[in-house]
């Protein structure tokens, strides 16, 4: 029995080495001089060597629908049950099969608004027309209104094309949403991760002090500033939930400077609720391990007297869950 335990320990250690290589390739390749092509080669071949590659490819196509109920004291009664479809990190030109699955899922969904939290392009440079074409194909299956922000993979040159599709781009701007005589405010900031052209103060400048407000940001890294500005809810993406994770969805890297608890799913900070989407697409290589892609339906509810603003996530899986 002792020899068997030792063998299991050796096997676990051997699997750890390639995972450490993936940490470098996924999260730090640009810091240590590895090109995108080099990182792609490392990830693809390490996964093939460990026998995980094709499973990881299939995982990248298995989009989950998650439902997130959140309660807020400041939500106007007329917005009880207001539902937001949250789609992030499409990287549409990386995985056509995943985009086809997304189109199947959203066609019959019921929601009040759709929000896109950035990263429409697969690479951070180069041509962007294929990404626009992919967003246009997905967009024809989404219900209006659609609001969006840019991510660190996107260029400002994409904005006219996105707006021509009927997508309201929020570039450090705010848009009121009206129901009867009640109004909530939806703001969006430009990329705060790489380009650092975000301006939360400008985006919030037209929001009345006591009004209920939502902020769209590609990255959750600005959670402190968002809470300080008085937003009730922050919706973001960017992290991919880690994309390649240890069992238990423990990310190897989040590619962000923030506490790990903000890296995926629902969380709260002071009086602000937050949600970080694991995203639909994949970065560098279209693979996922222990971290399936997602779209999220956020339903806003009024908090009961004495209750707190909190988000609770219920996961709806269109197919039977299997090991990743």
Q: What is the pLDDT of residues 109-120, one digit of tens each?
A: 999 999 999 999
Rounded to two decimals, what is the model's pTM?
0.86
Confidence band for 286, pLDDT divided at 50, 70 and 90: very high
Q: What is the pLDDT of residues 136-182, one digit of tens each?
A: 999 999 999 999 999 999 999 999 999 999 999 999 999 999 999 99
Domain boundaries of the chain, sorted by first residue? 2-51, 62-316
Distance CA 247, CA 250 (A): 6
CA dihedral 301, 306, 310, 316 (to 10 degrees): -50
Q: Report pLDDT digits (tens) over 209-240.
A: 999 999 999 999 999 999 999 999 999 999 98
pLDDT digits (tens, 9 = 90+) for 59-104: 999 999 999 999 999 999 999 999 999 999 999 999 999 999 999 9
Q: What CA–CA distance (Å, rounded) separates 306 from 158?
A: 45
Residue 266 DSSP class? E
- The two structure tokens encoding residue 167: 């997508």
For the domain spanning 62-316, the CATH number is 3.60.21.10
Average pLDDT rounded to a whole number, residues 3-9: 43
Which contiguous run of DSSP H or E holds residue 135? helix 129-139
Quote the CA–CA distance of 105 and 292 in Å, as a whole number.
15
pLDDT band at residue 3 under the 50/70/90 scheme = very low
């Amino acid at each position: 029995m002792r020899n068997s335990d030792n063998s299991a320990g050796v096997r676990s250690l051997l699997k750890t080495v390639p995972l450490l290589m993936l940490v470098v390739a996924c999260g730090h390749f640009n810091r240590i001089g590895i090109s995108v092509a080099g990182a792609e080669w490392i990830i693809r071949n390490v996964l093939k060597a460990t026998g995980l590659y094709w499973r990881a490819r299939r995982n990248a196509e298995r989009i989950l629908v998650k439902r997130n109920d959140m309660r807020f004291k400041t939500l106007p009664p007329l917005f009880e049950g207001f539902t937001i479809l949250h789609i992030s990190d499409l990287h549409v030109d990386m995985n056509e099969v995943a985009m086809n699955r997304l189109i199947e899922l959203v066609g019959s969904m019921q929601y009040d608004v759709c929000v896109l939290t950035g990263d429409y392009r697969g690479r951070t440079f180069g041509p962007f027309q294929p990404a626009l074409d992919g967003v246009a194909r997905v967009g024809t299956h989404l219900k209006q209104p659609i609001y969006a922000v840019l991510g660190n993979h996107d260029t400002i040159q994409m904005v006219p094309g996105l707006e021509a599709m009927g997508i309201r781009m929020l570039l450090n701007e705010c848009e009121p949403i009206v129901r009867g005589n009640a109004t909530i405010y939806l703001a969006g900031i430009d990329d705060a991760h790489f380009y650092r052209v975000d301006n939360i103060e400008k985006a919030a400048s037209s929001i009345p002090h006591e009004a209920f407000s939502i902020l769209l940001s590609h990255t959750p890294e600005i959670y402190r500033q968002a809470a300080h500005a008085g937003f009730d809810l922050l919706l973001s993406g960017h992290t991919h939930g880690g994309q390649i994770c240890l069992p238990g969805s423990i990310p190897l890297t989040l590619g962000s400077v923030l506490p790990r608890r903000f890296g995926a799913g629902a969380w709260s900070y002071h009086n602000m609720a937050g949600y970080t989407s694991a995203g639909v697409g994949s970065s560098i290589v279209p693979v996922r391990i222990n971290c399936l892609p997602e779209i999220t339906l956020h339903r806003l509810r009024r908090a009961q007297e004495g209750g707190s603003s909190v988000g609770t996530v219920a996961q709806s899986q269109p197919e039977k869950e299997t090991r990743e």
